[in-house]
Structure 1
Amino acid sequence: MGHLSTLAGVVALTSMFVPEAAAQSCSGVTGRFQPKMGSGYKSSVLATGLRNPRHIVVDSAGNLLVAEGGTQGVRRLVLQEQGDIVCVQSNTQIASGSTNHGIALSADGKTLFTSNLASVTAYSYDAATGQVGQGKQIVTGMSFQGTHPTRAIATSKWSPDTILVARGSQSNVDTSTTQQSAARSMIKSFSISQGMQTAYNYNTGGEVLAWGLRNIVGMSEDPAFGGFWSVENQMDDIKLNGRDIHNDNPAERLSYHGVLNATENRYKGLNYGYPSCVPAWDPANVGVSGLLVGGLFKPDGVPDVAADECASNRMTGRLHFHAHTAPLDIKFNKNSTAAYIAFHGSWNRNPADGYRVMRVDFANGQPVHAVTSKTAQVPVMENGNISGCPNNCFRPVGLDFDQKGRLFVSSDTSGEIYVIYGA
């Protein structure tokens, strides 16, 4: 990897930017950067000084739980209203040890899940007091191999006993993932109750929801329609017929995986092409006749497939994004009229791209834009100047909404949490 509910009064949000779009600041909290906000949005800095904050989740009492990368564990930020904004009342560590990336809560809010590069751990959790119980591993066997240590996790309100766990490839082109038995570059589903009794081994247990997905780093369930979605970081440094086309290809991808508790989910178990087939962002640069945005093609140096295999027998994404912008999380507003995506930003293109939060509009459970659209993203929060990225800018990773429709955003490189408010 290159690695709000829509609020009342926001009727038409365009791609224009508001010069002065910062809300008032929390006392004693000063952010390092001044984000550029899309029309109708304001932001404030909620917290600074965190250590590599990755994914985040708001609990049933409105507190913010933050998975800090490495061996930092989970922090609980108790929030309080301060005028027109929200600020931190207290900040404590509630779970120690390696958390790496992923964090989720059960549908009833009483179980906290975290992931690291090897396993998924469950803790009993009391949102009122912040007390957690003894951790129990419910999924194991994902020992780190290669370049993608993140293990995105997500739970479901439509299927409350289900947890999804994504495991990425072990290299840029992981040839062994042409076989499901590799148990990489895929999303698997597991029964929480069964995992609490006897831990699953990721390699042999659970059910494959989707595979052929290079590196899924964010997943989310549509609250109104129940559909499950993922965002994917695609291949780096690709060539076609010896020609370097990596700067604008392949596309990053938003994929649909159906409703988890549906009697028949026709999306379950589908293959999305990796490592042999990748989606186009700039078809003209690829040079394959008839190729459209999101269409799959076979680059150099990947496992061979039949000539029509990419076009005919692999699943395409539902929307596609600029190459190497690294989407790391996706969250829906309360009424599912929009999904918000955190683009961590590129390392594998020149000039750099990403480093922003964007909105994709939805209707009836699907994006309003066509699969081939290149204009589906509406700016929400961006760096004013990305020349200092990745180390001297905010770099969004995790997203979550509270019940008031405020969108929280973590920035790992700057150690900050932002809040985005509607107009």
Structure 2
Amino acid sequence: MRWLTTFSAVAALASQALSQDAPTFPFPASCSGVAAARYPYTLDAGWEATKIASGLRQPRTIIFDNLGHMLVLQATSGISVHTFGADGCINSTKTLVQNSGLNHGLSLTPDGKTLYASSQTTVWSWTYDATALTLTGQKTIVASIGQGIHSTRTTVVSPKNPNLILVSVGAAANWDNPTIDPSVGRAIVKVFDASKAPSNGYSFNSQGTVLAYGLRNEVALAFDPNGHVWGAENSGDDFRRTVNGQSTDIHIDNPAEELNYLGDPEKPFTDNWYGYPTCFTVWEPSNFRDNTALKTGSQFVVSPNTTFNDASCDGKSRPPRLSFPAHMAPITNGFDPKGENLYITFHGSWDRQPAQGYFVAEVPFQKGADGNYEPTAAADSKTGYKNIIGSQNPGGCNSPSLTTSSCWRVAGLSWDQAGERLFISSDNSAQGEIFVLRKKA
């Protein structure tokens, strides 16, 4: 009965979000005054795409308010809001807040009245007025977040319980061994009740609830129609496999990027360790000649020994539900309105030649007999997703920094409130762009 009540509540929220309050706009064939795409791309035959914005500063995250306005977090700049005209193109732009520390996290409560955004160290909230396009009453919700090589702090609001916000913090280094203890506050996703936040905000490390840890850098977080959390993980760089003193470079195709089921934020798993910094995921099994039992999706340790080896990960670490090629850098994911597909932006690789990533993936999902959602592909599949739009020549992309590249770097992703148009951004510093996509009828 509890499950039925929960499901009904989430379904009601989804229905409300896609009801009469959700305005619809036509799909534009082109938008006047918008520069052509900065970089060439390929598009799946079942989709159409139009560039609707250019000249933005690192548009990292896209969300929509209940009146259909598009809010964009422009990293190192602030938050802007964009309205649409009758032609489906942007007809006005306004800066809501200027803050050079903002870099990724942006989320609205389902009623559209409270906005959250994050810097590397802090999560703030504001009261948002979608009609006046204003933010007021800034509050600190979470503070004292530690710093490291991963600076983004993904912040998302639970659709099932809008008082709950999830905050993800990555590892402080490629190998961050202290994170085996969740109290260090890194390689972790935590849940906070914003309605009970102290006046100076929660202390990230010592307060809140651990949803999941052992996640090297779980930048992409999304809720399925049940309000359960799915995370996409950036795994490690420059790996060598050492067995009996013999070291082999495996970093080109391993470890895999991961799609992890993190569960219900109101009822975290008791076994919520996902392996880092010990257990990683195989993408290409042929690199592991010492263990022919490994397959795509299996977990492995970099230096197996008599105390802890590949088999030790079984039953201790929660394995990913699906995996992706190494170094593709997933940074945003989101479900379509019916939960039939999960979409993921792959920001692209720097630690691999030839490069890979730089595309938006569509991952088919299905609802099981138990009412839960999961990918249609098996956990050991290499074909559980497809590229719907991506760089024309990803292997030739050169990305010497997080936002500098010879190709676009797909970043933000969001469906509009009507569930009809999919918006994506590229935060390449050479040209910040936003495109709108639609499946062909």
Distance 2:102 2:376 in 1: 36
- Structure 1, unmatched stretches of 5+, are 6-21
Cα distance in 2 for partners of 1:316, 1:290 equals: 16
Contact 1:295-1:311 at 8 Å conserved across structures: no
Residue 381 of structure 2 corresponds to 373
Match of 1:8 in 2: none
Counterpart in the other structure of 2:426: 411
| Aligned amino acid, residue 102 of structure 1 | G
1:43 aligns with 2:57: no
**Corresponding residue number in structure 2 for 1:420:** 437
How far apart are residue 34 of structure 1 and its match? 3.8
Kindly provide the amino acid, as one letter, of the partner of residue 392 in structure 2: G
Cα shift readout 1:352-386 (whole Å, capped 9, x = no counterpart): 00000010011101111111110011221011123
Q: Counterpart amino acid of 1:360?
A: V
Q: Residue 35 of structure 1 aligns to which amino acid in structure 2?
A: Y
Letter in 1 for 2:127: S
Q: CA separation in 2, counterparts of 1:29 and 1:348?
A: 33
- 1:158-173 matches, within 5 Å, as 158-173=160-175
Q: In the alignment, which residue of structure 1 is the partner of 2:134?
A: 131
* Counterpart selection for 1:255 from 256, 260, 270: 260
Q: Deviations over 1:42-86 (max 9, x none)?
A: 11111101111111111111111111112x11011112231xxx2
What amino acid is aligned across from residue 283 of structure 2 in structure 1? W
State how many pairs are aligned.
Answer: 393
* Structure 2 counterparts to residues 64-75 of structure 1, below 5 A: 64-70=70-76, 72-75=77-80
Which residue in the other structure is 2:227 paired with? 226
In 2, Cα distance between the equivalents of 1:400 and 1:112?
Answer: 16
Q: Matches of 1:335 and 1:61 in 2, distance apart?
A: 20
Paired with 1:359 and 1:75, the residues of 2 have a C-alpha distance of 27
1:343 aligns with 2:346: yes
Larger mean CA deviation between 240-249 and 399-408 belongs to 399-408
- The aligned amino acid for 1:32 is R
How many angstroms apart in 1 are the aligned matches of 2:50 and 2:353? 30
The alpha carbon displacement at 1:301 in A equals 10
How far apart, CA to CA, are the structure 2 residues paired with 1:226 and 1:246? Answer: 35
Cα distance in 2 for partners of 1:50, 1:250 equals 33
Matched with 1:314 is 317
Aligned mates of 2:198, 2:434 — CA distance in 1: 32
Deviation at 1:340, TM superposition (A): 0.4
Q: Is the 8 A contact 2:79 2:96 kept in 1?
A: yes
**Counterpart of 1:32?**
38
* Residue number in structure 2 paired with 1:396: 410
Distance 1:100 1:210 in 2: 22
Question: 1:162-214, CA deviations, whole angstroms, 9 ceiling, x for partnerless residues?
Answer: 10000000000001111112110000000010126551010101000000000
The aligned residue for residue 187 of structure 1 is 189
In the alignment, the residues of structure 2 paired with residue 109 and residue 309 of structure 1 have an alpha-carbon distance, to the nearest angstrom, of 46
User: Which residue of structure 1 aligns with residue 293 of structure 2?
Assistant: 290
What amino acid sits opposite 1:129 in the alignment?
A
Contact between 1:209 and 1:269, CA under 8 Å: does it hold in 2?
A: no
Residues 138 and 200 of structure 1 are in contact (CA less than 8 Å); yes or no, is this contact kept in structure 2?
Answer: yes
Measure the CA separation in 2 of the matches of 1:221 and 1:398: 16
Residue in structure 1 matched with residue 68 of structure 2 by the alignment: 62
Tell me the TM-score normalized by structure 1.
Answer: 0.89
- Measured after TM superposition, the shift of residue 226 of structure 1 is 2.2
- Cα pair 2:304 2:310 within 8 Å, conserved: no
SS of the residue corresponding to residue 125 of structure 1 reads strand
Q: Does 1:111 align with 2:111?
A: no
CA distance in 2, matches of 1:276, 1:26: 49
TM-aligned CA distance change 1:80 to 1:269, over 3 Å: farther
State how far apart, in whole Å, the 1-side matches of 2:158 and 2:422 are: 19
2:387 maps to a residue whose letter is P
Give the distance between the partners of 1:122 and 1:305, measured in 2 at CA.
44
* Pair 1:307–1:296, CA change in 2 (3 A): closer
* Residue type of the alignment partner of 1:296: Q
For the aligned residue pairs, the C-alpha RMSD in angstroms reads 1.9
Secondary structure of 2:287's partner? helix
Distance of aligned partners of 1:81 and 1:36 in 2 relative to their CA distance in 1, 3 Å threshold? farther
Cα contact 2:355–2:397 (8 A) shared by 1: no
2: CA distance between counterparts of 1:400 and 1:301?
A: 41
Q: Residues 418 and 315 (structure 1 numbering): CA distance in 2 closer, same or farther, change over 3 Å?
A: same
**C-alpha separation between the residues in 1 aligned to 2:310 and 2:229?**
31
Matched, 1:331 2:339: no
Distance, in Å, in 1 between the alignment partners of 2:94 and 2:201 is 29
After superposition, residues 232-251 of structure 1 pair within 5 angstroms as 232-241=233-242, 242-251=247-256
Q: CA deviation at 1:308?
A: 3.5
TM-score of the superposition, structure 2-length normalised? 0.86
Q: What is the SS of the residue equivalent to 2:348?
A: coil
Contact 2:301–2:309 (Cα < 8 Å) also in 1? no
Note closer, same or farther for the CA distance 1:307–1:388 as it changes in structure 2 (3 Å cut).
Answer: closer
What is the aligned partner in structure 2 of residue 102 from structure 1?
105
User: How far did 1:392 drift?
Assistant: 2.4
Q: Any unmatched runs of 5+ in structure 2? A: 1-13, 15-26, 368-372, 400-404
Aligned residue in 1 for 2:22: none
